[in-house]
Amino acid sequence: MLSDHIIDVENLSISIGKDLEALHPLSDECCIYKVPKILYRLNEVAYTPQVVSIGPFHHGKPELQLMEEHKRRYTKEFLQLSTSHVSVKEYVEFIKKREKRLRNSYAETIQLNPQDFVKMILTDAAFLIMVLLKFSCPELQSSNDRIYSRPWMSRDVRYDILLLENQLPFFILEDLYDVSGIPNKLQKPGLSMIKLVHSFFKIKWGYWVLDDVLEKQNFLETKHLLDFLRICQQPLNLQAGNKIKSDVTWYAPSVTELYRAGVKFELASSKNLLDIEFRDGILKLPVLKMTNRSEILLRNLQAFEQCHCKDKYLNDYIALISTLVETAEDVKIMAENGIIQNRLRHNDSLSTLFNYLAKGNFVSRKSFYFSNIVEALNLYCKNPWHKWKATLKQDYFNNPWAGISVLAAFILLMLTVVQTVCSLLQI
């Protein structure tokens, strides 16, 4: 019986060695991830490309094959638009030299062989470059263009190329674009890749991608297109000392609770979502515009921060907003003050969305970006004087007639007191 359990030490050692050698090497260049399952289960559609695959994670999926021919056509146009001294062979060699860095950019081991991998990178990168170029240079669009002649298609492509699992490293887009010589051929030498990306996203999401963001933010280390959108809403002025004390909750009171405590709400002049300020009983927030597809952007940024970023500013923002707008009434108050522009069907749709986003959120008590604001809001609400003053104003002085009635009642009360005192003195 013992012979049945004899281990072949030599073969087992070789097998273990092969398994260890096959492990995907960990790299500092890793920046493209599969969405964590805890987030993916909350809304699969928000992370899944609908019309086009970019990169290896969704490569070859049958439901995305219709776009492959359009990708090849865009690749052909890219090659034709490139300067004559760059051949297909040179592009292949160019990508081959960067294959290791490209593979290291992905958190998963890419099973494609070198030939298929290089072919995929060239096709997808050329496609993306042409999508961006044709938007900034409409003269490159033909009347039978299968993407820009169909508004719904260009819209779906725009959302697909921001998904976390549907990314190419930004460096390969920049490198291929630079070596192509296309800007000079178009007589637009200043038309850089980062400017193309800025123009492409700004036209539809001007509230998120601001006109002057290229001057204010640092995009030198942009990882990919989704990371570009993350950088657009990074804080310009970091708030110092945002550490949650052990006895302070990171949950803010709801907007309705704050309103009942006398807090006023104002639209901030800044358009950066993170520039929130609370001072002298006034909470100032930048405008938040929500459409039926805003969830896609928020969820993918949320996932990217959790997988990659040390500072999770958007996760912190989601945490704050989800506690502020718990109900439709909270959304209504914010909307009445111009802070929320809600294009969803109902106010409760927005509050439900943020509460749902918060289910997969990650907040560190040690580095919560809005801890000082949350602490100040909670302290303000606990002050009975603020609540008493707000109740008096909201219930009794919310209109002139109510104020007159209260004043008349007060005068009548004082006259009654005086009359009573006088009567007592006469006795």
From the first residue on, what is the mean pLDDT of each consecutive set of 10 residues in the chain (427 residues)?
68 85 77 97 96 98 96 96 89 98 96 98 98 96 90 93 99 97 93 97 90 93 98 79 55 94 94 95 95 93 97 96 96 95 86 92 89 94 65 55 58 68 68
The first and second tokens of residue 206, run together, are: 């001007």
Hey, what are 97's tokens?
């030299």
Nearest to 235 by CA among 169, 309, 330: 309
pLDDT for the residue numbered 22: 72
Please, what's the b/e burial string for 101-112 (b: 16 or more CB within 10 A of its CB; e: otherwise)? ebbbbbbeebee
pLDDT at 420: 72
CB under 8 A, 24+ apart: contacts of 73-79: 73/146, 74/126, 74/127, 74/130, 74/131, 75/122, 75/123, 75/126, 75/127, 75/130, 77/130, 77/140, 78/126, 78/127, 78/129, 78/130, 78/180, 78/182, 79/126
Strands 288-290 and 340-342 turn out to be: parallel
CA 214 – CA 222 distance, rounded (Å): 12
Separation of alpha carbons 145 and 78, rounded Å: 14
Beta bridge partners of 266: 284
What is the Cα–Cα distance from 295 to 7, expressed in whole angstroms?
54
Show Cβ contacts of residue 93 under 8 Å, excluding neighbours closer than 6 positions: none
Whole-number Å distance between alpha carbons of 123 and 354: 37
Name the 3-class secondary structure at 153: helix
Would the pTM of this model clear 0.85, i.e. be above it?
yes
Residue 139's pLDDT is what?
94
Cβ distance 368 to 316 under 8 Å?
Answer: yes
Long-range residue pairs from 346-355, CB within 8 A, at least 24 positions apart, any chain: 350/290, 350/325, 351/325, 351/326, 351/327, 353/290, 353/295, 354/318, 354/321, 354/322, 354/325, 355/322, 355/326
Nearest to 319 by CA among 384, 367, 257, 380: 367
Beta strands (DSSP E) in 225-367 are 264-267, 277-279, 282-285, 288-290, 340-342
